[in-house]
Structure 1
Amino acid sequence: MDPLLILALLAMGAFGGFAAGLLGIGGGMVLVPFITMIFTARGVPDELVVHMAIATSLGTIMFTSLSSMRAHHKHGAILWHVVKMLAPGIVVGSMIGPWIGKQMNSSALAFFFGIFVAFSATQMLINKKPAAARELPAAPGMFATGGLIGILSGLVGAGGGFISVPFMTWCNVRIHNAVATSAALGFPIALAGTLANIFYGWDEPGLPEYSLGFIYVPALLIIVAASVTLAPLGARTAHRMPVRRLQQVFAVILYALAAYMFWKSAQ
């Protein structure tokens, strides 16, 4: 593999891992556009490039989430009873999301991803917290919420933090607990979504060598090597300093990445 490509993937992994630990976003919103750029440059067919970028990004979250989850757990910030209530719906939804994505062509999927990232950037930039108006719902409501988080996360290759964190905050969960719990939820999202992407892409024609379904294994391994190193640093930073200024910087970056995905969808 080209040394410059390895360095680019390592840099992406480091940035995505730090973002995952700091903001509980799973890193997917940052990784998918960059992976799309690299896969396009490497000659991956246009009809597969976005699907593979999303699947590969989701695969990295399996490892990133474990690393950031461990760091948050050391601070006692993860609400494990919330994880247990949301996880069943998340697993179901995370297997449905990639199936929906497979039915979409690359342009439509890129456009949908761009909308999701632009919305998430706006949410991060204005930092409008939902009013803490109620308690967490009972088991059926938590299953339905988990299903929605899983579907959207599996569809766009993200960790679900931009749904789960506002939802938990709205339900009177402290923001640091919400971010930590969201990091823990990234693992069932990524595990179920990764297995689904392997299954749905197994017999897809035109996949590059060393692909496992829609997942490009060499890129996955390189990104993971960097992301698992930086995710704990992001998690520690989240507990040591206000992250408002960093949120604003990330929002600007996300707008630029959303613009790229809109451009990609128009090709």
Structure 2
Amino acid sequence: MATQDTFEGKNTSSLSDESAFQKGSARVTYRRFKNKSAHALFLGATLIGVVILAILLYDIFQRGLPYLNSDFIQNFASRRPSQAGIQAALWGSIWVIAVTAPLTFVIGVASAIYLEEYSQKGFLYRFIQLSIGNLAGVPSIVFGMLGLTIFVRQLALGRSVLAGALTMTLLILPIVIVSAREAIASVPNALRHASLAMGATRWQTIRQVVLPYSLPGILTGTILALSRAIGETAPLIMVGAVTYVAFNPTSLMDEFTVLPIQIYNWMGQPKEEFQYLAAAGIIVLLAILLSMNAIAIYLRNKFQR
């Protein structure tokens, strides 16, 4: 009887172990199925964006490449499609970005240094941080209205390159401040303490330790913000950027137009040829944006080394 009870106990134990193993296998199979399902879902979501982008690029290049030539770059805007070009819009965009870039970089980095290195983490700090976060999400048309009120009317700058550049500076400044703050905050405190222990002042530590370490992130965020600025239309329309300019700007107080406004104007023309000109202008704008992003990647890799 004792041998039979022992044999039955072993059978019961083996059955329970087998049941636990089967439950564990079913659980592992279910988890693998969930993992594969999530992977397929995320891959499908990514492919949707890639496919739509590929379709748009194919349509744009198919329409615009035959019109993309030296005459298109050198000619001014015209009511005749065969004589229309983007010279004034291209130089206007270059002027606006050339003024916006240094203003945004200096003000944005200086603000980020103050917030991360000098300010006390109190009520004022939290209020400024909240305000910058809210400004980063404000629609661009609101900044256009602000630029129209302050720069065009109150400061009497008129429909000038300077008014447009200052408006674009307000637009992307919160983005630059946020990215610069994150880059500065990523610097290890051990580097700051080591510099201070060697007798350096706080400003010397910031200038010789913090800024070189955080410069790749700062430059990347700044150039990506400028890439957004060069494609904006609504703020510049609000400050009075004209749609037809037959000359290149030669000073900050000249009237101007930019590539997005010129493309928008061509898209509204009834003649079909202007649609193809707009596609060619989009190709030029994409080339400028990709060049700026490539510069950002190059600078980041260079300063990281």
Is TM-score (shorter-chain normalized) higher than 0.5?
no
When normalised by structure 2's length, the TM-score is 0.29
Higher relative contact order (CA 8 A, sep 6+): 1
Greater Rg over alpha carbons, structure: 2
TM-score of the pair, normalised by structure 1: 0.32
